[in-house]
DNA sequence: ATGGGTGCAAAGGATTTGCAACATT
DNA sequence: AATGTTGCAAATCCTTTGCACCCAT
């Protein structure tokens, strides 16, 4: 069953609500864990056996271009995606590699494009990196 | 001729000042244009004909781990490096692909690690994306 | 029938790794 | 000799692309 939110987001950007697109969007919305393309693919193949990686790649790229999802490149070699498009900060744990959302007061929020030195800025991302709570605890126990 | 700055940075992290490392660091310091690994390699091969890409990859990764350079992943599938380790914001032009430094008042500056929700944060990066001044001008002329 | 979507396989890159050779102490 | 570095080539991914097929209108 697909949520209204998934359908609405597709309609908003004028894309046909195919099974693949709906499932991918739905997965993003219900799994706020910053999945990689591979994560999404692996999660959905069981229910859509003919799904191809290319479709997942293309669809997620589309989503981020149309701003119904965010592409995150905080982890040097693996792009991941976030269906949460409200302002928040991404925190990358260098120990376990997980990406967390932090609702820090410094989260950039850009409602409309702004000009800086003549350059038009229409996207902002703040990345934090360090060691997460869990990994700190593990280290303390050694 | 290598600057003192290059030598000092290598000493600071306890690495031997080999010809390769000094040249790579020197290149970063004198070319604040956020070169990719390939850029660095191409620029230095003429003077060090036996240089290998693997060395450039490994050396730059070392530099960023030891914090004498910054690894930047603002461009989705090409990592680049910055020898400037003072706080500033990186701006990526989606049109021409260049990465600019912006000395915006919002540049994060983290002198010592801070705790957020129990997580230890020791690095911050703020990325802006949009269309740069030059590309804006080109578009206006069409 | 037409246009948008999808899947497959191949191509294209970027990055890492293992190992042998080399340099420096 | 011992340790730390480098270069080469191969191996691994990650991601994109071209093209044919399919589906919905």
Nearest to B116 among A104, A117, A122 (CB): A104
- Read off the pLDDT of residues A105-124 as tens digits, 9 standing for 90 and up: 788 888 899 999 999 999 99
Does A121 sit within 8 Å of B129, measured CB to CB? yes
Residue B1 has pLDDT above 60, yes or no: no
**Three-state secondary-structure class, residue B119:** strand
What does the pLDDT profile of chain A (142 residues) look like in tens digits?
A: 567 899 999 999 999 999 999 999 999 999 999 999 999 999 999 999 999 999 999 999 999 999 999 999 998 888 999 999 998 999 999 888 899 999 877 888 888 999 999 999 999 999 999 999 999 998 788 7
Return the H-helix or E-strand segment holding B128.
Answer: strand B119-131
Nearest Cβ partner of A132 from B76, B119, B132? B119
- Token readout for A135 is 């990994």
For CA atoms A120, B101, A131, A36, the dihedral sign is positive
Residue A30, Cα to own-chain centre: how many angstroms? 12
CB contact under 8 A, A133 and B117: yes
Rounded CA separation A141/A65 (Å): 44
A65 touches strand D (CB under 7 A): no
A-facing residues of B in 72-91 (CB < 8 A) are 73-77, 79, 91
CA B60 to chain centre: 9
Task: Choose, out of A67, A73, A91, the residue to mutate when testing the contact with B (most B CBs < 10 Å).
Answer: A73
Q: Does A47 touch chain B (CB under 8 A)?
A: no
Taking an 8 Å cut-off on Cβ atoms, the answer to whether B119 and A76 are in contact is no
Reported pTM: 0.90
The residue in chain B having the minimum alpha-carbon distance to the alpha carbon of residue A64 is B76
Least Cα separation, residue A37 to chain B (angstroms):
13
A128: contact with B, CB 8 A cutoff: yes
Q: Across the interface, do B126 and A113 touch by the CB < 8 Å criterion?
A: no
CA A79/CA A27 separation, integer angstroms? 16
User: Could you check: is the Cβ of residue A53 within 7 Å of any atom of nucleic acid strand D?
Assistant: yes
Q: Give which of B98, B88, B82 is closest to B131, Cα–Cα.
A: B98
pLDDT in tens, B7-50: 999 999 999 999 999 999 999 999 999 999 999 999 999 999 99
- Summarised one tens digit per residue, pLDDT across range B46-100 is 999 999 999 999 999 999 999 999 999 998 878 999 999 998 999 999 888 899 9
Q: Which nucleotide is nearest to B49 (CA to C1')?
A: D7
């Amino acid at each position: 069953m697909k949520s209204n939110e998934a359908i609405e987001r597709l309609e908003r950007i004028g894309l046909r609500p195919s099974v693949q697109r709906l499932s991918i969007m739905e997965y993003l919305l219900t799994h706020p864990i910053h999945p990689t393309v591979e994560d999404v693919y692996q999660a959905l193949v069981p229910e859509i056996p003919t799904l191809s990686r290319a479709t997942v790649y293309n669809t997620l790229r589309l989503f981020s271009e149309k701003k119904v999802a965010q592409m995150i490149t905080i982890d040097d070699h693996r792009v991941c995606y976030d269906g949460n498009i409200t302002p928040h900060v991404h925190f990358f744990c260098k120990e376990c590699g997980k990406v967390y959302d932090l609702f820090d007061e410094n989260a950039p929020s850009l409602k409309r494009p702004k000009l800086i030195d003549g350059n038009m800025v229409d996207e902002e991302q703040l990345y934090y990196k360090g060691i997460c709570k869990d990994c700190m605890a593990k280290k303390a126990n050694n």
